[in-house]
Amino acid sequence: MPMVEVGFVIQTRTHVRTPVDVWRAVRNLPDFRRLLQLRIASQFGDGLFQAGLAGALLFNPDHATGPMAIAGAFTVLFLPYSLLGPFAGALMDRWDRRWVLVGANIGRLVLIVAIGTILALSAGELPLLCAALLANGLARFVASGLSAALPHVVPREQVVTMNSVAIASGAIAAFLGANFMLLPRWLAGSGDEGASTIIFIVTVPVSIALVLALRFGPRVLGPDDTKRAIHGSAIYAVTTGWLHGVRTVVQLPTVAAALAGLAAHRMVVGINSLLVLLLVQHMTAPAFGGLGTALMFFAATGLGAFLANVLTPAAIRRWGRYATANGALVAAAAIQVAGAGLLLPVMVVCGFFLGVAGQVVKLCADSAMQIDVDDALRGHVFAIQDALFWVSYIASITIAATLIPADGRAPVFALFGSVLYVMGLIVHSIVGRRGQPANPR
């Protein structure tokens, strides 16, 4: 069925509505199926790696952690790459994305082995954080490359639906990877040696992702050589990556509005993550019970995100991206208030519903970039999103860590999260309205 585009509001009419229809569509798209397998393997490894690293840094009986230590660890791991990401994104719009994915996964393998060795030798926290910084940077680079490549392997009218399928599958894989970590941790212990064992296991899914990336043909994943492609030397393309990405976002109200809503959500996620980590660290048995409770919170959030992947395509078809994201931000502001009591069971439930709302906003942003942005600039814009994704998260954690008590008992920060959602809603509503048609249906 055709897709009707009015202004920047996309109304998709496809036969892909039931799970059976979705499965048939996936089966009939072999390149998308390979990309999906690559995402699943990669994100299973990401989930296992992140959970193993969290156990080594935050739930290790040999190390004590407070609010600033948690903020510092997250800052070192994610902030530098986030600032450099838009420059690297230029390479995704210049080089064959297949080889970018291959090179990034090779780099991840080398760094994962190095991290496992550092933990096994108890070589110290600084080399561990530096190696983890690079490994996480490459992992985010892979994720951005997968998102930028998706429109090349599915028909335009199925981008929203198949993007939801891809993200849902990746979220489940990451969830399974994170929870699988508990088994080797239980068998090998919660100290550096046990953490080293977990990190070495990560080489298996990352190796599978590498093999799957090699199966694609040249240029199958893009980029296109369109008239908007950035020519000149590779150095020129890299150094102008930030400029082109920001300029594209500013020129497209639908993209700018969606990214504003996403930034608000990520700031609240940062505050909630710090609150939960501090609360569980003051449980009776933080080494295992605290980690298990934290994983339960993040698992509930992931489950909510999975549900959003199922619901969002239908919501966008019915109300459009603009109204759908506005509704999600309104709901998130109300849900955040409900968790201000800082009761962990309630926070787990709120985490589930915030996972739904936040992922709806994320999918609206992805759809805007995959549909409204020229392919020659898509990698730049996804890199901008990736930078915003982590800068907003780290900024909120760092600011909260300077004010929050060591036991995490600070309900005012949970309430401030609701204020952030309202601010994101206001910006999204004002900016996004400029991208709407004069006479909407």
Q: What does the alpha-carbon distance between residue 242 and residue 144 come to, in Å, rounded to a whole number? A: 15
Higher-scoring residue by pLDDT: 56, 108: 108
Provide the residue count of the chain.
441
* Helices and strands (DSSP H and E) totals, the chain: 16, 2
| Range of the structural domain that residue 327 is part of | 4-433
Q: What are the tens digits of pLDDT across the range 96-145?
A: 888 889 999 999 999 999 999 999 998 878 888 888 888 887 887 788 78
Per cent of the chain over pLDDT 70 is: 83
Look up residue 105 and give its two tokens.
Answer: 């996964």
pLDDT surpasses 60 at 236: yes
pLDDT higher at 254 or 327: 327
Q: Which of 284, 145, 168 is nearest to 221 (CA)?
A: 145
Band of residue 441 on the pLDDT scale cut at 50, 70, 90: very low
Q: What is the dihedral of CA 355, 361, 367, 369, to 10 degrees?
A: -120
User: Which residues touch 346 (CB under 8 Å, ≥6 apart)?
Assistant: 338, 339
Which segments of 7-62 are extended strands (E)?
A: 9-11
Crossing angle of helices 30-58 and 19-27, in 10° steps, is 110
For residue 333, is pLDDT > 90? yes
Burial 24-44 (b: 16+ CB within 10 A, else e): ebbeebebbebbbbbbbbbbb
* Mean per-residue pLDDT over the chain, rounded: 82
Instruction: Band the pLDDT of 439: cuts 50, 70, 90.
Output: very low
Percent of the chain having pLDDT more than 90?
A: 30
Looking at the domain assignment, is residue 425 inside a domain? Answer: yes
CA 215, 376, 44: angle at the middle one, nearest 5?
A: 40
Here the CATH number for the domain that contains residue 157 is: 1.20.1250.20
Q: Is 301 exposed, middle or buried, given 0-12, 13-18 or 19+ CB atoms closer than 10 A?
A: buried
Please check whether residue 176 lies inside any domain of the structure. yes
Structural domains of the chain, count:
1
Query: What average pLDDT does this structure show over 357-374?
Result: 88
pLDDT band at 350 (very low <50, low <70, confident <90, very high): very high
pLDDT higher than 70, residue 298: yes
Q: Does residue 438 lie within any of the structural domains?
A: no
Choose the weakest-confidence range: 87-96, 194-203, 389-398, 401-410: 87-96
Average pLDDT, integer, range 336-358: 92
| Residue 361 in domain | yes
Please say if the pLDDT value at position 240 is more than 80.
Answer: no
The residue type at 9: V
Residue 439 within a domain = no
Count CB neighbours of 299 within 10 A. 18
Residue 21 included in any domain = yes
Look at 76-80, 160-164, 337-341, 395-399 and tell me which has the smallest mean pLDDT: 76-80
Question: Which is nearest to 22 in space by CA: 194, 149, 133, 164?
Answer: 164
Burial 99-138 (b: 16+ CB within 10 A, else e): bbbbbbbebbbebbebbbebbeeeeebeebbbbbbbbbbb
The pTM of the full predicted model, rounded to 2 decimals, is 0.72
Residue 441 lies in a domain: no
